[in-house]
């Protein structure tokens, strides 16, 4: 029986003590870990190797973590957890807008970070998404659950894993109003302990990407005041 490949995590952190501590805890949890101390090295490692998740510090020398995340998102949907000492909500929102999937504020518990990594990798397995039909189409929008991708007309949408899971949940049951709690459970996990506006930022990014692919795409994801969100079914 073929052994399962260990999940590979790239830790991008300029503080060497912090990087080694994170590496130690992740390796204890069973992951294979590579370390980069600046953005350029991180991007080069990602071009040469395949990773299942990236832990990315924002305050890096040269190219900062936000710029690295934006560059990663040009050609990869690998999950990204941001690390930062910034505590303002606006800073966190900026991180999600750059394409991050989760956010951990320094100082942090290494055990909590490992738990976040485990939660994201469990969500990224897409097991739940493989139930039912392999894909659905609503108007020009097609969601391919097995491939883990979505298209609007002829344009493939460049979505983060979290954005895809939100869209997939809505597309599975078009017209159903999902509460914020339901979408957080499906897209972020029952054990998610991030800040309250995380889901809203992911929804905003998802709407923006839909609209970039098609200006009339505002109609797809509707806010139902006081209740949540739904996928609007084309007439």
Under 8 Å between Cβ of 76 and 149: no
- The answer to whether residue 2 scores a pLDDT higher than 50 is no
Q: Does residue 60 sit in the same domain as residue 103? A: yes
Q: Which residues contact 154 (CB under 8 A, 6 or more apart)?
A: none
At which of 99, 123, 147 does a domain end? 123
Give residue 141's domain range. 128-231
* Span 148-204, pLDDT tens digits: 889 988 888 888 888 888 898 898 888 899 988 888 877 766 555 555 567 888 888
At which of 123, 148, 167 does a domain end? 123
CA distance 181 to 199: 9
pLDDT of residue 4: 54
State the chain's mean pLDDT as an integer: 84
**Residue 125 or 103, more confident:** 103
Q: Does residue 78 sit in the same domain as residue 157? A: no
The closest of 168, 148, 232, 167 to 205, measured between CA atoms, is 167
Under 8 Å between Cβ of 217 and 210: yes
**The model's pTM:** 0.69
Work out the average pLDDT over 78-84: 90
């Amino acid at each position: 029986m073929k052994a399962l490949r260990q999940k590979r995590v790239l830790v991008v952190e300029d503080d060497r003590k912090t990087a080694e501590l994170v590496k130690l805890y992740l390796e204890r949890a069973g992951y294979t870990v590579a370390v980069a101390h600046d953005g350029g090295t991180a991007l080069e490692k990602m071009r040469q190797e395949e990773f299942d998740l990236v832990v990315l510090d924002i305050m890096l020398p040269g190219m900062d973590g936000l710029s690295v995340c934006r560059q990663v998102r040009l050609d990869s949907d690998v999950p990204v957890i941001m690390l930062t000492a910034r505590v303002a909500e606006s800073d966190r929102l900026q991180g999600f807008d750059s394409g991050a999937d989760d956010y951990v504020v320094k100082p942090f518990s290494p055990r909590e970070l490992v738990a976040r990594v485990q939660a994201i990798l469990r969500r990224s397995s897409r097991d739940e998404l493989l139930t039912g039909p392999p894909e659905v189409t609503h108007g020009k929008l097609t969601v391919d659950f097995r491939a883990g991708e979505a298209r609007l007309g002829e344009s493939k949408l460049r979505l983060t894993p979290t954005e895809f899971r939100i869209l997939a949940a809505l597309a599975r049951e078009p017209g159903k109003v999902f509460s914020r709690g339901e979408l957080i459970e499906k897209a972020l996990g029952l054990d998610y302990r991030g800040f309250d506006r995380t889901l809203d930022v992911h929804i905003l990014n998802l709407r923006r990407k839909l609209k970039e692919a098609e200006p009339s795409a505002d109609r797809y994801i509707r806010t139902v005041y006081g209740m949540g969100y739904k996928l609007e079914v084309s007439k």
